[in-house]
Structure 1
Amino acid sequence: MTQVLAARAGKITPEMEMVASREQLDVEFIREGVASGKIVIPKNINRKEFNCCGIGQGLRIKVNALIGTSSDRDQIEMEERKLAIAQEAGCDAVMDLSTGGDIDGMRRQTLALANVPVGGVPIYQCAIEAIEKRGSVVAMTEDDMFAAVEKQAAEGLDFMAIHCALNFDVIKRLKNTGRVTDVVSRGGAFLTGWMLHNNRENPLYEQFDRLLEILKKYDVTLSLGDAIRPGSTADSLDGAQLQGMIIAGELVARAHAAGVQVMVEGPGHVPMHHVKSTMLLQKRLCHGAPYFILGTLATDVAPGYDHITSAIGGAIAGAAGADFICYVTPAEHLGLPTEQDVKEGVVAARIAAHAADLARGNKQALARDLQMARARVALDLDRQISLSIDPGKIKAAREGGDDSRHCAVCGPDCAAQVAAKYFGID
């Protein structure tokens, strides 16, 4: 029985109890959210025990990290280190996006070592194997696509990005919008090329019920991939994006009816004045399903600093209703991320998520900020370190200093301490 079917039957699962405990909420709130489809708990029935997280309405915003090999960098040991770094930095989930080398071995390693939900994009491996075996991505078969989903579900993936909301209506709309960047989604590009070459509808859309049967069997959470997300701010909220969102909403309703957990992926490059509208449209059209955003990047002109541009957009998006933020690293638009890039991406996304949680009135976030403020007034360095999003940053900055009650900036003339004398605070 899937999490959503158990919830609708009035049953409390261990995963719901874990989420309720971590969120400091009543478990009945979690059960009702899962039953309605406004909360998902990604947890494959074949997966070992790990730190489950809830994603959705009324919960703390979660952060996703990306790892994976490629044809340019097939270093499985490096990806193991990246996974460890991402988890140490506080990610809530991770996706293995491998497209090179031993893809199966990489996925097995990630599933074995991760203590958080693990996601993937099955069409990536399917496309790479089609190139290796038949010479081209467009040589994939329908059965290849569904076999890839079944294989990775059986191995234990907790959630999958699958580009079901792409059909010929969306492609037609795309052709007529005058887009600057056309298709920037890798999975969306694979499927668009396949559809146009073979003049056939997207099997993942056309045979959606077949897909749902596989996902339901293993209780894999469907993440409706945003195949035509805007890859530049100029393309935000164009007709193609909105058409895809409408289709996604229809598929969300079908997934709910089938008892499959589902969330929806979103943009992408979004100027700040479009963010709130984008979030409200998604929630309205997609029946309140959790929104998994890829950024959002507030500007196109900061390569090397896109962890910052995405944190700006992500914070606004989170405050407006996004539930799950995929990190963006400094290497975005430049190349493959290093271990340090991974850490910086996770930390930037966590800052954005926490800032958005504050704006949404999350009690845990509000309490943490208040505690940090009090620790600063008291010059309680240990407490500041424990409350910090990146404790190592403070520790490194204080190496070689003394343990006196001096502010790092003001020294013995700390403004807070001077004021404290007059307010009777020590």
Structure 2
Amino acid sequence: DELRFSGVLTPKRAKAGRRVTQLHYARQGIITPEMEFIAIRENMGRERIRSEVLRHQHPGMSFGARLPENITAEFVRDEVAAGRAIIPANINHPESEPMIIGRNFLVKVNANIGNSAVTSSIEEEVEKLVWSTRWGADTVMDLSTGRYIHETREWILRNSPVPIGTVPIYQALEKVNGIAEDLTWEAFRDTLLEQAEQGVDYFTIHAGVLLRYVPMTAKRLTGIVSRGGSIMAKWCLSHHQENFLYQHFREICEICAAYDVSLSLGDGLRPGSIQDANDEAQFAEL
């Protein structure tokens, strides 16, 4: 109990049948305060780049990107509504400053932190967060796999001015003592709810690792290098059942919509070497 963050507010959640996501508001034609803040922030970032780094724009292919001279709140709304950009902003993470990720906006940088079973403490993880943001990280992922995962994440969230992401399957695995075969949809769902109520802004979900794709990795030089992908592959093979993240993907989306959590689709069958690049397993998952 002494590790718990004091003064935590009661978690917020959308009422049944209602939506509180930035995507919902954008598609309703509503400009939110977050969108206004982002427009100002993006323009300030561009001005800084123009004055400090770039003296001219290099010619090149736009690949469909449309880069206006000045970003407006209306432009932010339209890009989100079109599905070309996201605003990771859990309603339970008020400490975070709004930011946007999309093809027509500034490039964003993520930093990974997190404890392990053999090293680090809550104090060290918060220190990593502080230095990540000082050096310009736009988002931070807490990939903790050791003790006190919940408490560590709480301290990170309550001190983070940037969106925080996680891989929920890591904590779900710890709840079953690290035995992948013992994972269940119920345990994973409870983990999603726990993290969404804390304020996690985006989840990485390995829903594309399907049972029929796993044998395609047998001839690989480096096998499955994604931790989340290997966890789900082991579960699928041991139970001879389809990936429960894929089977329950609609429910995952409903949970995310209730708290405005964004989804990052984890590439569980990504290649770990040039030898394995562009093989049938990689493209099957895509």
TM-score (norm 1): 0.55
Q: Could you tell me whether the CA contact under 8 Å between 1:119 and 1:161 is conserved in 2?
A: yes
Between the aligned partners of 2:75 and 2:285, the Cα distance in structure 1 is: 31
Q: Is the counterpart of residue 220 in structure 1 residue 261 in structure 2?
A: yes
Q: Shift in Å at residue 70 of structure 1?
A: 0.6
Q: Is the counterpart of residue 144 in structure 1 residue 163 in structure 2?
A: no
Which residue, 169, 173, 185 being the options, matches 2:216?
A: 173
Secondary structure in structure 1 of the residue aligned to 2:109: strand
In structure 2, list runs of 5 or more residues that go unmatched: 1-19, 44-70
Q: Shift in Å at residue 29 of structure 1?
A: 1.3
* Matched residue type, 1:101: R
Q: Could you tell me whether the CA contact under 8 Å between 1:64 and 1:92 is conserved in 2?
A: yes
Runs ≥4 residues deviating over 3 A: none
Q: Shift in Å at residue 137 of structure 1?
A: 2.0
- Equivalences for residues 156-171 of structure 1 within 5 A: 156-171=199-214
Q: Could you tell me whether the CA contact under 8 Å between 1:128 and 1:137 is conserved in 2?
A: no
Q: Could you tell me whether the CA contact under 8 Å between 2:95 and 2:158 is conserved in 1?
A: no
Secondary structure in structure 1 of the residue aligned to 2:115: coil
Q: Could you tell me whether the CA contact under 8 Å between 1:99 and 1:128 is conserved in 2?
A: yes
Aligned match of 1:11: 30
Q: Could you tell me whether the CA contact under 8 Å between 1:33 and 1:57 is conserved in 2?
A: no
Give aligned-pair identity as a percent.
Answer: 41
Instruction: Flag the structure with more relative contact order, 1 or 2, with Cα contacts below 8 A and sequence separation at least 6.
Output: 2
* Matched residue type, 2:111: A
Which residue, 238, 245, 249 being the options, matches 1:204?
A: 245
Q: Shift in Å at residue 174 of structure 1?
A: 2.8
Number of aligned pairs? 240
Aligned match of 2:39: 20
Aligned match of 2:46: none
Q: Could you tell me whether the CA contact under 8 Å between 2:101 and 2:108 is conserved in 1?
A: yes
* Matched residue type, 2:121: Q
Q: Is the counterpart of residue 83 in structure 1 residue 103 in structure 2?
A: no
Q: Is the counterpart of residue 29 in structure 1 residue 75 in structure 2?
A: yes
Aligned match of 2:84: 38
Secondary structure in structure 1 of the residue aligned to 2:263: strand
Aligned match of 1:67: 113
- Equivalences for residues 167-316 of structure 1 within 5 A: 167-175=210-218, 178-245=219-286
Between the aligned partners of 2:84 and 2:110, the Cα distance in structure 1 is: 18
Q: Could you tell me whether the CA contact under 8 Å between 1:74 and 1:101 is conserved in 2?
A: no
Q: Could you tell me whether the CA contact under 8 Å between 1:181 and 1:235 is conserved in 2?
A: yes
Secondary structure in structure 2 of the residue aligned to 1:62: coil
More helix by share: 1
Q: Could you tell me whether the CA contact under 8 Å between 2:165 and 2:204 is conserved in 1?
A: yes
In structure 1, list runs of 5 or more residues that go unmatched: 246-426
Secondary structure in structure 1 of the residue aligned to 2:140: strand
Aligned match of 1:130: 176
Secondary structure in structure 2 of the residue aligned to 1:230: coil
CA RMSD of aligned residues (A): 1.2
Between the aligned partners of 2:267 and 2:162, the Cα distance in structure 1 is: 23
